[in-house]
Amino acid sequence: MKDISRAHCPIRRATDILTDQWSFLILREFFLEGRKRRFQDLQQELGLSPNTLSNRLKHLENTGILERRLYSSHPPRAEYVLTEMGARFGPVLEALYDWGTSYPETDKKPKSD
């Protein structure tokens, strides 16, 4: 592994933004389903409450990972798209996917402590 310094650590910067229950999974939808996602799409795909989704989307917007585009307000039509920074997140998800794939499903149980 390359030189990772603790001061201003890039991993710390990443986890400060992303370590809630949903952010990784929201971003995953953009790589799995398409670059443009709508509020209702995400809600159905992920099965989370609208207020939670709203909070997380705003957070990802404020941190420059997603961009919100409002096309009409009546009826409302909004789309969320990955920014440059958001698009660069693909390799992280791939690495996480690979790791998760090799995680044993049965002999160790997540969240059971």
Partner DNA sequence: CGGTATCCCTATTGATACTG
Partner DNA sequence: CAGTATCAATAGGGATACCG
What are the residues binding a copy of itself (CB under 8 A)?
A: 1-2, 4, 6, 8-21, 23-25, 28, 31-32, 45, 58-59, 62-64, 85, 88-105, 107-113
Query: Token pair for residue 57?
Result: 């989307």
The residue within the footprint of DNA, chosen from 29, 78, 83, 90 (CB under 7 A), is: 78
| 94: exposed, middle or buried (Cβ count in 10 Å: 0-12, 13-18, 19+) | exposed
Phi, psi (degrees; rounded to nearest 5) at 29: -65, -30
Q: Is 44 in the site for DNA (CB under 7 A)?
A: no
Contacted entry of a copy of itself, DNA, none for residue 112, CB cut-off 5 to 8 Å set by kind: a copy of itself
Which residue number, 5 or 72, has a Cβ lying nearer to a copy of itself? 5
- For residue 53, give the H/E element and its range: helix 50-62
Spatial distance between the Cα atoms of 94 and 96, rounded to a whole number of angstroms = 5
Which residue number, 21 or 49, has a Cβ lying nearer to a copy of itself? 21
